[in-house]
Structure 1
Amino acid sequence: MTDSTIWWVLAGLVVGAELLTGTFYLLMVSAGLIGAAIAAHLGVSLPFQIAVAALLGGGLSVALRFYRKAAAAKNPLSKTDGNLDVGARVMVDAWATDGTAQVKYRGANWVAMPVTGETPTPGMHQIEEVVGSRLLIKKL
């Protein structure tokens, strides 16, 4: 079996592993293996093929890591952490003596609490945070 065939088989196995695990980094490693296969087709020595696989696969993996970090820094989820309830509005009719209120939200009754420093007053509020099954709300 030729060197290029071995590299192509390894690249195929790594792509298969990527499909099973869902990590995008294995695609970068397989790109390095494909680069080594191309180098083998060009007739370069085995140490150079290994260097191509390592440098290309490793370099692409590191580049992907930096890209993901930069993209995450540009588009943070801020305080919502992906929670689509944050920012929604609820109506508080009355507050209980313990500082909580029952509010109707998404067709269910929720326990609501004011955020720290807020005075519990009836009226329209905005959800600031969801803690377990409690809504932390702020007066609008």
Structure 2
Amino acid sequence: MVDHVLVPMDDSPLARQALDFALDVHPAADITVLHVVDYVEESYGAEMLVGPDELRERALDRADQLVDEARERAADHEGDLRTATEFGDPARKIVQYAADEAVDLVVMGGHGRPLVSRILLGDVAQRVVQRAECPVTVVR
């Protein structure tokens, strides 16, 4: 039985589809929406222009917007909806969160990052599938 589902959330259509899938397929499960702020995705030039504090504040504002959207999408969900924001490598943080919080299932979108980023850094979904201790469903 799936009691706790982790849905990593970025600003991609596939992440939204993954959340919708989790809500539809596991209507009574507790769902945690996790947004991982990846500073590698942020431009080093931007950090130099606005400073690390401003860059962090902007990232947190984006995270808040994603969380608000997730709450709206899950308004009629039977289970609890929790949210979390982490900083670091997305694949590592997702796998770590799933292990630390006794997640039964990870549901995530595939290919949320731009192609160039996936080639340079590896696909987050692929790394989560390989490393997670629990089952992972990838929505495409």
Normalised by the length of structure 2, the TM-score is 0.27
Normalised by the length of structure 1, the TM-score is 0.27
